[in-house]
A and B are shown apart, each in its own frame.
Chain A
Amino acid sequence: MALLTFQPVNILYIHTVYRFAPCPMPSKTLEQLINRQQLWPAKQRRHHTVGGHSNATGFAPLDRALHQGGWPSSGSSEFLCDTPGVGELELVMPTLSQLNRDRPIAWLNPPYLPFAPGLVQHGLAAQQQWLIHAHRQHQLWAAEEALRSGVFGALLSWSANCPPNDKQLRRLHLAAREGHCWHLHFRPSRCQPQASPAPLRVQVEGGPRDIKLVILKQYGGHAGQQLTLPRNKQLTEAQRPVNEWPTNTNPRRRLAVNLHVAGRPSTPSSHPVIRS
Chain B
Amino acid sequence: MLYVCLRFPLLGLEALPGAPLSEPCALIAQQQVSLVNAAGRLAGVTEGMSLTTALALCPSLYCQPQQSECEQAHWQRLALWAYRFSDDISLSPPNALLLEVSRSLKLFGNLKRLYRALLSAYRKRGLQLNIGLGNTPLAAELLSLQGIRPAHLVNAEGELKRDALKRALASLPCRQLPLPSVQLEALHNMGLRRLGDVLSLPRKQLLSSFDPVMADFVARLTGRKQDPRQRYQPADVFVSERQFDGGLFQSDQLRFPMSAMLKELEVYLRLRQCLNRDLHWTFHYLSGERQHWKTPVNHRHFHRKNLLELIALQLEGFTLAGAVEGITLECREFVSLEATKQQLFDEHREATEQSDAQLRLINSLQLRLGDNALQQLKIDDRVLPEQQGVACPVSDYNCEHRDHEASSEALRPCLLLPTPLPLQRTTTGLVWQGPLEILQGPERLDSNWWQQRQVRDYYIARHNDHGLCWLFKDCLSQQWYLHGFFS
Interface set of A (CB-CB < 8 Å, partner B):
27, 29, 82-90, 93, 103-104, 110-123, 125-127, 129-135, 138, 141-142, 145-146, 149-151, 205-208, 231-232, 234-239, 272, 274-276
Q: Is B213 an interface residue (CB 8 A)?
A: no
Bound form: Cα–Cα A141–B278 in Å: 14
B463 and A83 within 8 A (CB): yes
Q: Which residues of B contact A238 (CB under 8 A)?
A: 439-440
A239 and B411 within 8 A (CB): no
B425 and A84 within 8 A (CB): no
Q: Is B17 an interface residue (CB 8 A)?
A: no
Decide: A118 near B414, CB < 8 A? Known: A27-B346, A150-B357, A276-B429. Answer: yes
| Contact-residue size bin, chain B (C-beta under 8 Å from the other chain) | 35 or more
Closest CB in chain B relative to A190 CB, distance in Å: 14
In the complex, 27 of the A-B residue pairs with CB atoms within 8 angstroms, ordered by the A residue number, are A84-B467, A85-B487, A86-B467, A87-B486, A89-B414, A89-B487, A114-B377, A115-B412, A115-B415, A118-B414, A118-B484, A120-B406, A122-B414, A127-B377, A127-B378, A130-B374, A130-B375, A130-B376, A131-B375, A149-B360, A206-B466, A208-B462, A232-B486, A235-B440, A236-B439, A238-B440, A276-B436
B438 and A85 within 8 A (CB): no
CB-nearest residue of chain B to A81: B487
B487 and A272 within 8 A (CB): no
Bound form: Cα–Cα A87–B465 in Å: 12
Closest CB in chain B relative to A244 CB, distance in Å: 14
B459 and A145 within 8 A (CB): no
CB-nearest residue of chain A to B434: A83
A118 and B429 within 8 A (CB): no
Closest CB in chain A relative to B63 CB, distance in Å: 51
Interface set of B (CB-CB < 8 Å, partner A):
296, 298, 346, 354, 357-358, 360-361, 364-365, 368-369, 372-379, 385, 388-391, 394, 397, 399, 401, 403-407, 411-418, 425, 429-430, 436-442, 459-460, 462-463, 465-469, 480, 484-487
Closest CB in chain B relative to A155 CB, distance in Å: 11
B411 and A234 within 8 A (CB): yes
CB-nearest residue of chain A to B402: A127
B296 and A114 within 8 A (CB): no
Q: Which residues of A contact B486 (CB under 8 A)?
A: 85, 87, 90, 118, 232, 235
Closest CB in chain A relative to B132 CB, distance in Å: 45
| Apart from the given pairs A82-B465, A118-B412, 13 other A-B contacts in the complex at a CB distance below 8 Å | A27-B346, A85-B487, A115-B416, A116-B390, A117-B407, A132-B369, A142-B365, A149-B358, A150-B357, A206-B463, A235-B468, A239-B439, A275-B429
Q: Which of A126, A142, A149 contacts B389 (CB 8 A)?
A: A126
Decide: A113 near B412, CB < 8 A? Known: A103-B354, A206-B467. Answer: no
Decide: A151 near B373, CB < 8 A? Known: A117-B385, A145-B298. Answer: no
Bound form: Cα–Cα A63–B401 in Å: 34
Bound form: Cα–Cα A13–B23 in Å: 63
Decide: A121 near B296, CB < 8 A? Known: A86-B467, A114-B377, A276-B429. Answer: no
Q: Which of A89, A120, A134, A207 contacts B466 (CB 8 A)?
A: A207
B418 and A113 within 8 A (CB): yes
CB-nearest residue of chain A to B350: A32
Closest CB in chain B relative to A249 CB, distance in Å: 25
Decide: A129 near B442, CB < 8 A? Known: A274-B459, A276-B429. Answer: no
Bound form: Cα–Cα A131–B369 in Å: 12
Q: Which residues of A contact B375 (CB under 8 A)?
A: 130-133
Q: Which residues of A contact B404 (CB under 8 A)?
A: 116-117, 120, 126
Bound form: Cα–Cα A272–B442 in Å: 12
Q: Which residues of A contact B376 (CB under 8 A)?
A: 127, 129-131
Q: Which residues of B contact A149 (CB under 8 A)?
A: 357-358, 360-361
Closest CB in chain B relative to A102 CB, distance in Å: 9
A116 and B368 within 8 A (CB): no
Q: Which residues of A contact B459 (CB under 8 A)?
A: 274
A151 and B411 within 8 A (CB): no
Bound form: Cα–Cα A169–B139 in Å: 65
Q: Which residues of A contact B405 (CB under 8 A)?
A: 120
A145 and B467 within 8 A (CB): no
The residue in A87, A118, A123, A125 that gathers the most chain B C-beta atoms within 10 A of its C-beta is A118
The residue in B361, B412, B462 that gathers the most chain A C-beta atoms within 10 A of its C-beta is B361
- List the 9 shortest-distance A-B pairs measured between CB atoms, nearest first: A206-B466, A85-B467, A116-B389, A85-B485, A115-B416, A89-B487, A118-B412, A112-B415, A131-B375
CB-nearest residue of chain A to B433: A83
Closest CB in chain B relative to A88 CB, distance in Å: 5
Decide: A126 near B378, CB < 8 A? Known: A89-B415, A151-B357. Answer: yes
Decide: A114 near B415, CB < 8 A? Known: A127-B377, A236-B439, A236-B468. Answer: yes
Q: Which of B373, B389, B439 contacts A118 (CB 8 A)?
A: B389
Closest CB in chain A relative to B112 CB, distance in Å: 35
Bound form: Cα–Cα A84–B468 in Å: 8
B485 and A112 within 8 A (CB): yes
Bound form: Cα–Cα A205–B466 in Å: 8
Closest CB in chain B relative to A119 CB, distance in Å: 6
B379 and A117 within 8 A (CB): yes
Q: Which residues of B contact A130 (CB under 8 A)?
A: 374-376, 394
Closest CB in chain B relative to A211 CB, distance in Å: 9
A206 and B465 within 8 A (CB): yes
Decide: A132 near B487, CB < 8 A? Known: A115-B416, A116-B378, A119-B414. Answer: no
The residue in B296, B358, B394 that gathers the most chain A C-beta atoms within 10 A of its C-beta is B358
Q: Which residues of B contact A121 (CB under 8 A)?
A: 406-407, 411-412
Q: Which residues of B contact A141 (CB under 8 A)?
A: 296, 368
B354 and A151 within 8 A (CB): yes
The residue in A82, A110, A113, A236 that gathers the most chain B C-beta atoms within 10 A of its C-beta is A113
Decide: A118 near B379, CB < 8 A? Known: A85-B467, A126-B404, A142-B368. Answer: no
Bound form: Cα–Cα A149–B357 in Å: 6
Bound form: Cα–Cα A218–B470 in Å: 33
Closest CB in chain A relative to B373 CB, distance in Å: 5
The residue in A29, A112, A132, A234 that gathers the most chain B C-beta atoms within 10 A of its C-beta is A112
B438 and A272 within 8 A (CB): yes
A117 and B412 within 8 A (CB): yes
B465 and A151 within 8 A (CB): no
Closest CB in chain B relative to A192 CB, distance in Å: 16
Q: Which residues of A contact B389 (CB under 8 A)?
A: 113-118, 126
B485 and A116 within 8 A (CB): no
B379 and A126 within 8 A (CB): yes
CB-nearest residue of chain B to A121: B406
B413 and A115 within 8 A (CB): yes
Bound form: Cα–Cα A145–B430 in Å: 43
